[in-house]
């Protein structure tokens, strides 16, 4: 048995030697770091004159010193880093995270996704009517995201304007079933009856007042516009007491959990980049430096 095992090891080693390109020595490099020639999720670093082998954080691949999101490692889909190489490590999965580090689609929603840092998932939202694109791992225009559900907001009429809560200025403009966050031009308010921007007052919105409304009456919006302004600007229009809103029912082909976040800034953004400190695991023990 032992002989068999030894023979097997020799065979594997022989194949390895025959096929692998020579591993460069990180101690010959100015950066003191070099990627492993076999595994794209490993790299060698010269530590006190001795080459040491390291794993990238699980889910990341080596891209070069001082590059990537952590320890010279980055998301594999950002480049062809694994072409002709293998992964040394299998995925370590946790709830919502296929790997400990990465950006992953949401189980039930096209407007949400997960960023994972050391296996801890943080829910993120695509805003302004964008949807999470699993191919680019970023928020994208709906027409670029195949197979995603349209939004319940636009269920009754795929091309209608839909009021946004109690807001007098903002509304959703449905385009082909996908909502985009819009704002009425200055001095106009959104009229829920005609579903257009009109001159106030309307049934729900008064003419602008001279006193600023108290905080937090914008119905779910995070105040974005309160910075960067020194010059006088039009007062927010005070909503009247709320009428009973009938929430749109979710059914059919729409995802049940697909509500849009009410964010006041509607610029397209990519996924947030997780940030963290030193996450490098210890060197892989017993890794043989190169036989040169
Ligand atoms: C990652 O999470 C594990 C357990 O959840 C913890 O033991 C470890 O210290 C964490 N590592 C880092 C670098 O935060």
Ligand 1 pocket, 92 CB below 6 A? no
Ligand 1 pocket, 94 CB below 6 A? no
Cα 202 to Cα 191, 196, 198, distances in angstroms: 6, 11, 8
Which residue has the CA at smallest separation from atom 10 of ligand 1? Answer: 118
Walking along the chain (292 residues) 10 residues at a time, the average pLDDT comes out as 44 50 92 96 95 95 93 93 94 94 87 92 88 89 76 80 89 80 90 92 78 41 31 44 35 33 36 50 68 46
- According to the model, what pLDDT value does residue 145 have? 84
Cα separation, 69 vs 75, whole angstroms: 8
Ligand 1 pocket, 279 CB below 6 A? yes
- According to the model, what pLDDT value does residue 290 have? 60
Q: Which of 54, 100, 118, 279 to mutate to test the pocket of ligand 1 (most atoms within 8 A of CB)?
A: 118
- According to the model, what pLDDT value does residue 20 have? 63
Cα separation, 102 vs 278, whole angstroms: 17
In this structure, the number of other CB atoms found within 10 A of the CB of residue 190 comes to 27
Helix (H, G, I), strand (E, B) or coil at 137: coil
Phi-psi region of 203 (alpha: psi -120 to 50; beta: other; left: phi over 0): alpha
- According to the model, what pLDDT value does residue 248 have? 33
């Amino acid at each position: 048995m032992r002989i068999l095992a030894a023979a097997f090891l020799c065979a594997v080693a022989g194949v390895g030697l025959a096929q692998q390109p020579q591993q460069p020595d990180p101690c010959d490099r100015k950066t003191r770091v070099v990627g492993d020639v076999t595994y794209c999720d490993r790299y060698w670093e010269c530590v006190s004159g001795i080459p040491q082998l390291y794993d990238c954080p699980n889910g990341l691949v080596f891209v070069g010193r001082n590059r990537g999101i952590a320890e010279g490692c980055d998301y594999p889909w950002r480049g062809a880093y694994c072409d002709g190489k293998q992964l040394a490590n299998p995925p370590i999965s946790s709830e919502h995270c296929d790997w400990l580090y990465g950006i992953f689609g949401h189980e039930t929603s096209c407007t949400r996704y997960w960023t994972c840092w050391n296996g801890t998932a943080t829910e993120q939202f695509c805003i302004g009517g964008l949807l999470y694109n699993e191919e680019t791992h970023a928020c994208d225009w709906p027409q670029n995201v195949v197979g995603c559900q349209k939004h319940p907001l636009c269920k009754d009429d795929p091309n209608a304007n839909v009021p946004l809560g109690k807001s007098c200025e903002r509304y959703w403009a449905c385009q082909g079933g996908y909502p985009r966050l819009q704002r009425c031009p200055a001095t106009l308010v959104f009229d829920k009856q005609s579903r257009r921007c009109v001159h106030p007052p309307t049934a729900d919105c008064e003419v602008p007042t001279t006193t600023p409304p108290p905080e937090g009456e914008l119905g779910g919006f995070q105040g974005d516009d309160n910075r960067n302004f020194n010059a006088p600007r039009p007062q927010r229009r005070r909503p009247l007491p709320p009428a009973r809103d009938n929430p749109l029912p979710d059914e059919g082909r729409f995802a049940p959990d697909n509500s849009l976040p009410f964010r006041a800034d509607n610029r397209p953004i990519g996924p947030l980049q997780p940030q963290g400190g030193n996450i490098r695991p210890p060197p892989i023990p017993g890794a043989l430096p190169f036989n040169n």
